[in-house]
Amino acid sequence: MMLRVSFLVIIVAAGANENDPAGQQILIFKEKTKGPIGVMTTSAGAPIEYKDATVTLNSNLIFNEYFMDSLTHLVRERIPERLVHAKAGGAFGYFEVTHDITHICKAKLFSRIGKRTPIAARFSPVVVERGGIDTSRDARGFALKFYTEEGNFDIVGFNTPMYVYKDPLLFSTFVRAQKRNPATNLIDGNMLWDFLTLRPESLHMFLLVFGDRGIPDGYRHMPGFGIHTFEVVNEHGEKSFVRFHFTPNAGIKNLRSEEARKIAAVDPDYATRDLYRAIGNGDFPSWKVSIQVLSLDDVKNAGFDVFDVTRVLPLDDYPLKPVGIFVLNKNAINYFAEIEQLAFNPANLVPGILGGPDKVFEARRLAYRDAQYYRLGANFNRIPVNCPIQVKVLAYNRDGRPPVKDNEKDTPNYYPNSYNGAEAYVDKKRAELIEIYQDDPNNFHQATELYVNEMTKDERSRLVENILYSLGGAAKFLQERAVKLFSIIHPDLGDRIAEGLASNRTKHYHYDDGYFVY
C-alpha cells in the first residue's frame, strides 16, 4: 500500500508545479473567468434547474432532461480510435518562408519571403494505443497541415527519413504484425520479427528504431521527414522533385532505454505534457524546413529509384536547401475537437505540388481518406479544425452525417450546370504526375552505410543490445533468419547478434505498449 501511495504521489507531483501550464490548466481557467461562466443548459439549450442537476433519488429519471441528456451522450462520446498513431500530441502555429523557391514550385504558400501560413501539427507513436506511453521504442508520425489560400496542404511524414516497405500491399500485414495477437490479446514479438525477416527492406528503418533514435526526448526535439519524393512544378509547368526535412531548432535529443523506462513509470504522457508546457510558457518550439531538390535529369540518372520510400536520398548528392521555418505557438483549447479530430490526408495537395508518383503515396491517398470517413464521417472536412480556413469552399457535396454547416445553401448541387454554380478553373500550364516503374526493394547497402558510417561504436553497441531485448524472446527460427539478414547488412552486426542470442546473458522479455520490457 505504501508503495502504491508513493507512486501516486509521484504522478500527481508531475503536474503540481505552479509554473506548469499543463498541470495548472484548470486553475488558470478559473483565474481568468469571473465566477460561473453562465447557466447550465441541455444540449438543446434549455436551462437546467438546480434540483435536476443535483439529485435523482425518488424522482422519475426519464423526466430529468439533464440526467437523460448527459447519460445518453456519455456512452456515445468515444469515436473509433486510429488504427495506428492513436496517441498523440499536437499544437498550432505558422510556417514562414525564409528562402525563395518559386523557381521550382508555384504553390502560393511559398510565394514570397516572409509569407506566413497557419499550420497544425500532430506528433504520434505508431504502435501505441490511446492511453499508452509516450516513451515507447517506436517510430513517430510527424504530420503537418498547412491552411493555405489554395486549400489545405498536408504532409503526413515520420521522424525517420525512410519508411518500412515499398509495396503498399504490405500495409495491413505490417500493422497487424505489430498489433496484439488475436488469441492472447498481447503484443507478440514473434509476429514483429516474422514480418521484419520476411521483408528485409524494413530493417533499414528499424536500425533507427532499435538504435539511439528509437525513443525521442519529447516532440520538441524530434526531426521530421516527408518520406516521399514529391513532384512540384513552377509557373511555367517545369518539373522538379523534392523531399521535405524538418529539423528542430532546439536540437535533436533522444532517450536511452533505461531513462525512457523510468519516465514511463511516472509520466506516461511525457512528450505530450512537455509540448503543452513549453508552448504554455512561451517557449515556442520551432523547426527549420529544408528540401532536397532533384531535376528530371537527376531522377533519370540517379542509378536507383529516388521514389523508393525505404531509401534515403544521399545528402552529398542532393544537399539540403533551406525553405523556411515553422513555429508552434498555440496549444489546443480542447484536445478532442482540435487534435483528436484533426484529419490528415496526403491527397490534400495544392496547385504546384502534385504529390509522389510512388505506389505507397497512391495507396495513402485512398487509405487516409477512407480512415477519416470511418472515424469522423463524410463531412470530416467541415469539422472546424479541418476546414480550409483561407479559402471559401464551393464543393458540390451535400447532406450526410453532421456537421454539414450551411450544406451549400441554395446553390445547384450538380456539375456541370447552367445555373451559375461554381466552375472549375483552367490551368494552361497543367502538369501531370509522372509515371514510374518501380523494381523490387533492395536497400541493404543503405542499411550498411547507416551502421558503419552514421553510428558510433557506442551507438552500435546499444543497437545490438536493443535488438537482443526484442529478438531474445522470439522463436529460434526467427532468430536464425534475423542473424542471416543482419550479417548481410554487416558481418560484425550479425556476429554480435548471434553471440548475444547464444549467451546465457540473454534475458526474457515482453513487449508492452510499444516498449520492450525485461
What are the start-end ranges of the E strands in 208-319? 224-225, 230-233, 239-248, 286-294
pLDDT of residue 93: 98
396 belongs to a structural domain? no
pLDDT in tens, 284-316: 999 999 999 999 999 999 999 999 999 999 999
Let me know whether 184 and 296 are in one domain. yes
Spatial distance between the Cα atoms of 296 and 300, rounded to a whole number of angstroms: 6
Q: What is the pTM of this model?
A: 0.91
Banded pLDDT at 2 (limits 50, 70, 90): very low
pLDDT of residue 19: 82
pLDDT of residue 5: 43
Let me know whether 69 and 110 are in one domain. no
Query: Backbone phi, then psi, for 144, in 5-degree steps?
Result: -130, 135
pLDDT in tens, 458-498: 999 999 999 999 999 999 999 999 999 999 999 999 999 99
276 belongs to a structural domain? yes
pLDDT of residue 26: 87
pLDDT of 281 > 90? The answer is yes
- Closest Cα to residue 210, out of 312, 138, 263, 141? 138
pLDDT of residue 443: 85
Q: Is 151 exposed, middle or buried (0-12, 13-18, 19+ CB in 10 A)?
A: middle
pLDDT in tens, 247-280: 999 999 999 999 999 999 999 999 999 999 999 9
470 belongs to a structural domain? yes
Contact partners, residue 352, CB within 8 Å, separation at least 6: 105, 106, 107, 108, 110, 232, 233, 234
Let me know whether 337 and 382 are in one domain. yes
Residue 240 belongs to domain with CATH number: 2.40.180.10
Let me know whether 379 and 503 are in one domain. no
83 belongs to a structural domain? no
Alpha helices (H) along 237-338: 257-266, 270-280, 296-301, 335
pLDDT in tens, 417-451: 998 988 998 999 899 999 999 999 988 999 999 99
Is 415 annotated in a binding site? The answer is no
Banded pLDDT at 509 (limits 50, 70, 90): very low
In the block, cell 508552448 appears at 279
Total of domains in the chain: 4
pLDDT in tens, 78-130: 899 999 999 999 999 999 999 999 999 999 999 999 999 999 999 999 999 99
Q: Is 488 exposed, middle or buried (0-12, 13-18, 19+ CB in 10 A)?
A: middle
Let me know whether 45 and 185 are in one domain. no
Q: 3-state secondary structure string, 170-183? A: HHHHHHHHHCECCC
Which structural domain, as residue segments, surrounds residue 56?
Answer: 41-77
Last residue of a domain, one of 49, 77, 105: 77
Spatial distance between the Cα atoms of 54 and 60, rounded to a whole number of angstroms: 14
Radius of gyration of the chain (CA): 25
pLDDT of 14 > 60? The answer is no
405 belongs to a structural domain? no
pLDDT in tens, 369-413: 999 999 999 999 999 999 999 999 989 899 999 999 999 999 999
Let me know whether 196 and 262 are in one domain. yes
Let me know whether 21 and 46 are in one domain. no
413 belongs to a structural domain? no
403 belongs to a structural domain? no
pLDDT in tens, 158-194: 999 999 999 999 999 999 999 999 999 999 999 999 9
Let me know whether 60 and 117 are in one domain. no
Let me know whether 96 and 143 are in one domain. yes
pLDDT of 15 > 70? The answer is no
Last residue of a domain, one of 25, 50, 77: 77
Q: What's the rounded mean pLDDT across residues 312-327? A: 98
pLDDT of residue 288: 98
431 belongs to a structural domain? no
> How far is CA 276 from its chain centroid?
17
DSSP 319: -
Q: What's the rounded mean pLDDT across residues 40-63? A: 90
Let me know whether 73 and 101 are in one domain. no
Query: Backbone phi, then psi, for 413, in 5-degree steps?
Result: -115, 20
Average pLDDT, the chain: 92
Grid cell at residue 152: 489545405
- Closest Cα to residue 494, out of 503, 483, 479, 502? 483
pLDDT in tens, 194-248: 999 999 999 999 999 999 999 999 999 999 999 999 999 999 999 999 999 999 9
Let me know whether 139 and 272 are in one domain. yes
Query: Backbone phi, then psi, for 275, in 5-degree steps?
Result: -65, -50
Let me know whether 73 and 131 are in one domain. no
